[in-house]
Amino acid sequence: MNSIRQRLLLWLIVGMLISTGIAGLSMYLLAQDEANELFDYQIKQIALSLPGSSQLPVVTADDEDPEEDNVIQVWDAQGKPLFVSYPSRALPRYVATGLHTVNYRQQPWRLYNTQRRGQFIQVAQPMTVREELAAALALRMLMPFFVLIPLLAGLIWWSVGRSLRPMQDVTTALATRHADAMQPLDETDLPQEIKPMVIALNQLLMRLDQAMQSQRAFVADAAHELRSPLTALKLQLQLTERTSGDEQRTIAFTKLNQRVDRSIHLVQQLLTLARSEPRLEQAQFTDVDLSALAYEVAQDFMPLAEAHQTELRLELQPDVRVSGQQVDLRTLISNLVDNAIRYSSDGSQVRLCVARETGHAVLQVIDNGSGIPADERERVFDRFYRREGTEVIGSGLGLAIVRNIAAVHHADLELSDNSSGSGLVVTVIFPL
């Protein structure tokens, strides 16, 4: 049963039935107490109101045998029966005086015994009379409840449906929306129980809208950036087809391979950027040894550093651990080291440092290149942004990828000047 209305109706009706049962039992017990007091007084008065022995017949015949009537018995001082109202139901003589309860023929009886004018009088009444009376009184008092239960069930069904109507309105508003409609739902005049859910939905819609806008911007930028290298690649292919001599054909193929490599690099960077975009859901993090990871990346870039005659120097504190995704952190370090080597002049030095500070792990890549002016340090994180006059072939996506990965790992990213001379210092501060 997944319906809130049905659940509420079921539990409320069950609660009403249990409450009615408890009320009926309480009424029965109260009515029984009242009946006991009333009938005890009645049999006592019957015993006290009997006439003397001269007016009593010795024995009476049973004309009728009603179960509800009292059994009256009278004995003289010697124990001789003087009177019995119903001989077929005569009880033995009980010596104890006053009110008491006995069992006779597997039936409880209420007795009152007394002695008056040399006579022993006993009035007996079956307890079933009192129980039946108490049950009848309790049932009469409960009859209005049994009539009201169906009416209350209908009222509950209607009121619950009316109370849940705002939820149905929210469901309808979401079901009839277009896939691109990300405007927030109306939060006015909502019940207190539904409003938090609508607020959470609006926050989710806002995040989805931001993600979709970012995705659309990424697709537009990617299409724009891919158009130029693909056009150049096609032109270079046409020029290669027109070459006649072997030497010209070799030069044309070399340029063609360079343009293909540039296109492949751009596509790889685009895919990496798309994967590094901050996600709506937090990715599963693991314990990563940042020092060991930085060492592995440095070994991968040793051939590139040697090709540029650049010294790749490592300053790594051992066992500096952070929480994150190892693949993404490898991409972050790789992009920083690759940029530092490519944008530094031949014969320079690139330092890769990992250290542990109070509550943080610090990763630094320091180069001796031309650096980045302070007024451009925010723009270099934009997609496809390349500084004017840059001769190094690139896609303008490396630092954008670094920024995205740092954001996913809740790390701070800073750019600063190299204090020992020209160059750039990229600092990434991770929480331990």
**Structural domain of 145:** 4-152
Distance in angstroms (rounded) separating the CA atoms of residues 341 and 308? 7
Give a yes or no: residue 419 inside a domain: yes
Q: Are residues 115 and 20 in the same domain?
A: yes
List pLDDT tens digits, range 21-53: 888 888 888 888 888 888 888 888 888 887 765
77 pLDDT tier (thresholds 50, 70, 90): confident
Q: Are residues 10 and 146 in the same domain?
A: yes
Domain of 351, CATH number, reads 3.30.565.10
Q: Are residues 228 and 360 in the same domain?
A: no
Give a yes or no: residue 190 inside a domain: no
pLDDT at 317: 92
Q: Are residues 267 and 295 in the same domain?
A: no
Question: 226, 246, 274: which is the final residue of a domain?
Answer: 274
List pLDDT tens digits, range 187-199: 777 777 778 888 8
Q: Are residues 410 and 269 in the same domain?
A: no
Domain of 86, CATH number, reads 3.30.450
List pLDDT tens digits, range 332-356: 898 888 888 888 877 788 999 999 9
269 pLDDT tier (thresholds 50, 70, 90): low
Give a yes or no: residue 175 inside a domain: no
Give a yes or no: residue 161 inside a domain: no
167 pLDDT tier (thresholds 50, 70, 90): confident
pLDDT at 377: 65
Q: Are residues 85 and 134 in the same domain?
A: yes
Greatest mean pLDDT among 36-40, 176-180, 211-215, 368-372: 36-40
Q: Are residues 206 and 306 in the same domain?
A: no
Q: Are residues 296 and 246 in the same domain?
A: no
Give a yes or no: residue 174 inside a domain: no
Give a yes or no: residue 255 inside a domain: yes
Distance in angstroms (rounded) separating the CA atoms of residues 140 and 129? 17
Q: Are residues 13 and 138 in the same domain?
A: yes
Dig out the tokens for 316 from the structure: 């790594």
Question: 274, 299, 314: which is the final residue of a domain?
Answer: 274
Give a yes or no: residue 215 inside a domain: yes
Give a yes or no: residue 96 inside a domain: yes
**Domains of the chain: total:** 3
Reference 113, options 38, 46, 45, 47; nearest CA is 47
